[in-house]
Amino acid sequence: MNKTQIKSQATSKYIRTSQYKSRRVLEQIKGKSYSEARLMLEFMPYRICKIIIKTLDSAFHNMKQNLSINKKQVRIIEAYANKGPILKRFQPRAQGRAFPIKKPTCHITIKLET
């Protein structure tokens, strides 16, 4: 039986969180089915989960545009977070000094297939 595999992906860029915090969540959903991963994300206590759910839904709807697909057949083959640009700010301190603040960003990519 030679079934064609349908693949799709979605990327969220310039997300205002560290790539390490994102990877912690993405590692847990890698290899899971779409519906199982979405359920896991809804009950995780991390702030990044809402953004990952949006990216996951976007990847699923990118795939669904072509054909009617069963949610249970869709699997996450890749989920990763790459480093984005760092926003650099300064906090004023005593005696005219300045304390640097680094606000990291990341790019989240999720790839699905049937």
Tell me what pLDDT residue 3 has.
Answer: 63
Within-domain flag for 2: no
78 located within any domain = yes
The span from the CA of 4 to the CA of 73, in Å, is: 13
Rounded Cα gap, residues 9 and 56, in angstroms: 9
Number of structural domains the chain divides into: 1
Biggest CA pair distance of the chain: 74
Q: Is residue 1, in this structure, part of any structural domain at all?
A: no
CATH number at residue 76: 3.90.470.10
pTM here is 0.85
Q: Which residues pair with 80 in a beta bridge?
A: 109
Distance CA 77, CA 30 (A): 7
Closest C-alpha among 2, 3, 11 to residue 62: 11
For residue 75, the enclosing domain spans 7-113
In tens digits, the chain (114 residues) has pLDDT values of: 346 677 889 999 999 999 999 999 999 999 999 999 999 999 999 999 999 999 999 999 888 776 677 778 889 999 999 999 999 999 999 999 999 999 999 999 999 998
- CB-CB contact of 108 with 26 (8 Å): yes
